[in-house]
Structure 1
Amino acid sequence: MCSNVVVGLPSPPNLNGTLSSPTPTNTSNAKDGDNLVMNHTGVGGGYKWRLVIAYDGTRYAAGWQYQSSPPTIQCFVEKVLMQATKLERKDLSLVGASRTDKGVHAWGQVAHFVTPFNYDSIDSIHAALNGLLPSDIRVREISPAVPEFHARFSAKSKIYHYKVYNDTFMDPFQRDYAYHSAHKLNPAVMREAAKYFIGKHDFSAFANASQKERVRDPVKNIFRFDVIEMGALLQLEVEGSGFLYRQVRNMVSLLLQIGREALPPYVVPMILATRDRRELAKYAMFAPPHGLSLATVKYNEEHLRLPSGCSTTSFGRHYTIGSCKLPFY
């Protein structure tokens, strides 16, 4: 039996033969059901599952983070999980790796949830989730997770892409996923400027105030910041240990001004040194959200290992026709 154990969960309901019931446990000392995890002792009441989710954020006015009105991406994911598992929201304890803002997209958002029962095969629930979700949200992967895994706090780094379409007119097929700059940009000076962001810095000057962050650490480590040319499309790729609220979009907005050659590259360390968001506002406006997407969330290998005795990762089903039953002419 899989020993992926989570505290704070109810006894499993009467379910069909695709599920395995764990031994009930006393959870009276648990503060809540959100990721209070025991070690691999084989005693406990539940199981943890990792999701990789892609979504088009265009129509979600509040982004990922849960709120009932207007409905968010997390709200829709929780709703279909409740339908598929017959559990309540508080029991699922769904947590996302990144609280993407309204209009921001994702290819590699990661989340986890918990259940009081084990799935022998997760292909069926994977298919059920995507069958219930709206067409602009898809679960790309679902897998069992070790108790130590936490979608947000276990993250080692995150990679964001920001796309800029740099031509005299906008490609209509890119309009929801790239910012249009009719000003001719100089990618070489943008690369030069982006190098100043790399390393450990206090990014207070590039962060907006947010009620979502109770206590924020303004020091973040940027591992790379690339400017990639793909014809008329520029893709700005930034990888870091973490990011403050709207930090990526603020960094991009300054790089756009530098790319237009309105500012020199060395303005970046000057603004960083001020640690004052008002200083950035003197030079650059917001980069809109629709050009931004969460590409990947990276974790240490020990957090991604599959617990022994559990089902394997589901990447979705491929449907094939076994044989043609009609005569061929």
Structure 2
Amino acid sequence: LSRSPRPMQPVWGRLLCIGAKEAQAYRRIDIDKVELVIGRKEGCGERIADNTVSSVHCRITLKRAEHVPETPLAFYGLEDEEDDDMPMPRSPTEVWIEDCSANGTFVNTQKLGKNNRVRLAQNDEVGLIRACGGSERPPYAFIFQDFSNELEPHELEALLSPSATAPPTPRGSVEVAPINLQQPAQMAPQPPVAPLAKLTPGPLNERTPGGKSDDDSLYMSIAALATPNPEGLREIRNTMRRGVLDIGDFITSDGPSALLDVVAEVLAKPKLGWVDLELLDGALGALTELTRSRDGTQSVLETEGALDRLVALR
């Protein structure tokens, strides 16, 4: 996908479209306003011309977080490969989704219910009409990506300032209290190092209720590589380690090349920050797991420029 010129407001989030009625799989919706309204009504930030979608179906809002703890200094070094329990730093922002429809808004497998809201976490799936993760995909669904932690302090302040001009979006719901859903960790990872346009996912296969299939793990891995971030790369490594991810399908989807692209993009920078080190650590961890199998090792060695990229690490 070609990207339009940089908007006046920085992009703080993204939705990857994965619904059954999407004409283009993984179409991107960049979010550069403090609020995105999804619905059928004229003026919605993402307008869906379908009568099954409510005029104002749901609302995604970026808010200033409360009680942000200080980041431990240990976080800024490379984490140990086996240490997956180290706490990640909290973002200075929170992202909430509000259900404004009686037709159903789902976060992963949970239905919110009209006038309820819940926090969104990285890679949460938002489904309209039907829940994600079942045997039949929702007609309209999205993978949520949070880039707010990458914003410069002045960009974040300008975005969240009460004096900032709010977008003219439709209203139609009252102030609501959050509901208590079981949620993943609230770390807001970093934006992509570079778009990996050559990634070639196959069709989104049906996923079995009650758990993640190999197809589901592959599909989430492809989404994570499309917008690489430390948390997503660690999850790819962990699914390989647990034997959940089908290595053959991952290779067919150009996964090894995408991981090497992350390494190359990070190493091309003149100066590496802690986010770059986390990206590099995640990509190398996934490559290490990949090369534990014969097919995985062969796929890495056969990737053009692979040895040059890995030698550059010395």
Same fold (TM over 0.5): no
Q: Comparing both structures, which one devotes a greater share of its residues to helix?
A: 2
User: TM-score, normalised to structure 1's length?
Assistant: 0.24
User: TM-score, normalised to structure 2's length?
Assistant: 0.25
Larger radius of gyration: 1
Higher relative contact order (CA 8 A, sep 6+): 1
